Structure 1
Amino acid sequence: MTRKQSHLSMFLLYALVLGVALRTSNAGDLRKNFYKKSCPQAEQLVRDITWSKARTNPALGAKLLRMHFHDCFVKGCDASILLDPVGTNQSEKNAVPNLTLDGYDVIDEIKTQIEQKCAGVVSCADILSLAARDAVSFPFKKAMWDVLTGRRDGNVSLASNVNGNIPSPFSNFGTLAQIFSKKGLNVNDLIVLSGAHTLGVARCGTFSRRLYNFTGKGDSDPSLNATYAASLRTQCPNPANLSTTVELDPQSSTSFDSHYYDILVQNQGLLQSDAVLLANKAAVKIVQGLRSANAFFSEFGKSMKKMGNIEVLTGTAGMIRKQCRVVNS
């Protein structure tokens, strides 16, 4: 890295840590127990249904956490990811980064049961935020972070809005930092929320270039642990089977823990977007600090609270959808 590049990198890091370009409009209107009077059983219903589903589907935490992330990074946390396409208009669901999202049926079931108790009161955006937290929290039998509520649902969902807002698995550090900055999230949030990759899987196509054609010359990524790379080649032969998946966090993909950071410093981050978190000294220092489970859990809760505030609709903005897949008629 040249001196000029180094200075640029440090300036970017400094600016992001200060939280430049904060975009959490109306976030102050969210609060704990928003439905205490209007629908007191709402949060209990979300938890009970989510825990029931997570009991038989250990992957649910990863699925709903990813869906929540993909919702908030496009037009804010307004449940626009849940809307089905209408006619020839493609919704966010149709965008390439969202084609592998799963768990919509769980949100539908929660919404149906809540509507039977409190019609037209609880937003789909809040249900998604709560369910993502509760699915991850199931093994601990306690809430792993606080979720403020009071969001309202958006009425627009366009596939064209997704491009450039959802980080790519091929992104470099600067691109990731810029995307997060646009959402009011800093470098610490970037590295902390990347820890969600302690859960779930990735398809071979999202990382096969690192194994077989990293620079376009049939080579592999020299930053990838050689033993780990050899193991990945056995799981993902070239050309990759697009339906084959590999654990993001080897041997620990259904456990919400800090193990992701342990493998990261061993150069076993699966995606290019994982590996680049070691791009500069300040970022590495954050990674090292998050190897403590207590530190990770604490910081993850803080960053999830910030993420859940992105461009939320509150008050009389938006609507409370009767069904999460369609806007009210």
Structure 2
Amino acid sequence: MTTTVSAYAAPSAAAPLERTTIPRRAVREHDVLIDIKFAGICHSDIHQVRDEWGGAKFPMVPGHEIAGIVTEVGPGVTKYAVGDRVGVGCFVDSCRECENCLAGDEQYCLNGGTGTYNATGRDGEPTYGGYSTHIVVDEHFVLRIPEGVELDAAAPLLCAGITLYSPLKHWNAGPGKKVAIVGMGGLGHMGVKIAAALGAEVTVLSQSLRKQDDAKRFGAEHYHATSDESTFEQLAGTFDLIVNTVSANLDLDAYLALLRVDGTLVNVGAPEHPVSLNVFSLIGGRRSLAGSMIGGIRETQEMLDFCAEHGLGAEIEVISADRINEAYDRVVASDVRYRFVIDTATI
């Protein structure tokens, strides 16, 4: 048995998103039915809808920043009850048996995790994301949203928040560490907030100075424009950790030169085209170039609890569903401070 719910979907890569209906499975033994209240718009939604990364499955219902309320639970559910405030992030299943899953790194499932949308579940059915009124998810992949974070501001934490929290924790951002965040968009602004809350000395590297006041308000101590060539001379050999959040191709050699000995440049933004670098940029300072995805379920819950403890949430602009296509264009133009969130009551 399935239920039909309202959603916004892209019928093809060249078409705007439009209102439609999609099937949702009946609640199984360990499933949770969530009444979605808010869904964040991530830049990766746009990449996938426009098939810029390849492998797009249409019709596509994007959305992996989901916040809502539990309205039904399966008979075997033990973690959640009707009325609980919950969220769903970038994946809704994994094998749960490989070494990565057992270690709590389900995002790196060796047998392939199941994306919240644009994927095929282990039941052979396509997955549809959060631009909809309801979703059914196994309780293992559902997160509890603490009372200290409003649901609308919590939605982007399920992707943007954990995408920055995971590398900042893994590479030990904290007191005594100099951390640079490249880009002050949906990802970057959360990186500033989280790195500052962890106790690091935070610098923002952005194309212009127009978001400098915001960055300082979020906890950054320093702010530099990357369009100014003197920035790279002034900051050479400065940082222990640089987290690059932008999805454009950058001059990696220039950014690697900003690292101290044993420093690391971590990429969380995913550019459309391959990148290149001179390996001497790594050899010269025993520097590392790394990548990071989201976190596993345990770490994502840790992030949500951390944000509640420190009063952190995303800076958002709540929109009605009929403005999704406009919002996509504005995201591409960097015209949002700092995350669009869909009020799903308007779907």
TM range (shorter): under 0.3
- Structure with the larger strand share: 2
Say which structure is richer in helix. Answer: 1
- Higher RCO, 1 vs 2 (CA within 8 Å, ≥6 residues apart): 1
